[in-house]
Copies of this chain bind each other. A is one copy, B any other.
Amino acid sequence: MNLKEFSARIGLSQTTVSRALSGYPEVKQETRERVLAAAERFGYRPNVSAQRLATGRAGAIGIVFRGGGRFGPHSSEFMGGLSTRLQEDGIDILVSTVEGAGDEEAAYRRLAGSKRVDAVVLHSPACEDARIPLLRTLGLPFVVHGRSDTALPFAYLDIDNRGAIAAATRHLADLGHRRIALINGDTVSTYARDRDRGYHAVLAERGIAADPALLGHGEFTDETGFRLMQAFLALPAPPTAVIAGSMMSALGAMRAIRVAGLGVGNDISLVAHDDVFPYLSPENLVPPLTTTQSPIRAAGGRIGDMALRLLQGEPVESLQEVWPVDLVIRGSTGPAQA
């Protein structure tokens, strides 16, 4: 029985229960006794980290964004999952928004010094990410959404980006495509580097020469997807298939294909990586989109869970997960046209 279930059972808010069990003075003696008696009766043992967080410490997990522009569909789904999990234990999220890398470092120093958060979630890690040694030096517990090349042990949750894009590339190669384009993120980021690797591994495996002109990098927006796809279509030998790094890039790519008077699925095959946005389902597009699929909301929830376990003293080595990614085949991919 967790805090949420226990509170519901006795008809009190999670906050009141937390406080009663932690001996906060705002709670009436009568309420406290009622909560303690019920805890005994139902065999409810409060989560130690929740207790510690709710009492001795900040009761908040920090997350730093570089620029408000980073708030987009991915961040809201991730935050939704994270907050839903932290809510069960009455933990808040402290969002700091900073201008650039130097300011981000200053923000972590400030968070570590001010005791306003008990741990932080680090996102969008680079292949070599200076924030990881920094956070270790500062003694600020952290969980990384993604991975990074470092010998230092740290807690992380990542999806199998390499395997996902390898599966997408293989699916297209199986359909006879030899000119396969990839719309990727900036390969300074580990996830994008891993996607590049999955793509190139399958091209090599199938004896397809990699063409740098078919590899595009940029932000995962409709605009960038459109621009990159238009550039691909303007090549002397345009691709017959494309892999888009996000649903947003895919929307732009579909638009560019349509504008060129071509059809998605027959003229150009399209696979997108789908982080699962409830309002933008690949099956509702025309044609329905083949995707590699992994809900970023679920990742947010799991990372909240890992942060709490970290604060309970679990070693970082037991807090390392890589989630497999499914390939879901729908109407947007078909045989290569001769």
Contacts and interface: CB of A to CB of B under 8 A. Distances in A.
A76 B72 contact: yes
Contacts of A65: 83
| Interface of chain A: mostly helix, strand, loop or mixed | helix
A220 to B, nearest CB: 8
Contact of A103 (B14, B81, B106): B14
Contacts of A83: 65, 68, 71, 95, 97
A110 interface: yes
Interface in A75-132: 75-77, 79-87, 92-99, 102-103, 106-107, 109-110, 113-114, 116
Interface in A58-73: 60, 65, 67-73
B113 A26 contact: yes
Contact of A71 (B80, B103, B106, B223): B80
B110 A15 contact: yes
A13 B79 CA distance: 27
A28 B113 CA distance: 16
A71 B77 contact: yes
Q: Which of A14, A77, A83, A92 has the most CB of B within 10 A?
A: A92
Interface residues of A, number: 62
Contact of A68 (B80, B221, B278): B80
Contact of A279 (B77, B84, B87, B248): B248
A106 B87 CA distance: 13
A96 B54 CA distance: 13
Contacts of A177: none
Interface of A: 4, 13-16, 26, 47-49, 52, 60, 65, 67-73, 75-77, 79-87, 92-99, 102-103, 106-107, 109-110, 113-114, 116, 221-223, 248, 251, 255, 258, 277-281, 284, 286
20 contacts: A4-B99, A13-B99, A14-B98, A14-B99, A14-B103, A60-B94, A68-B84, A68-B85, A69-B80, A71-B80, A71-B83, A79-B95, A92-B94, A95-B95, A221-B279, A222-B278, A222-B279, A223-B278, A258-B286, A280-B280
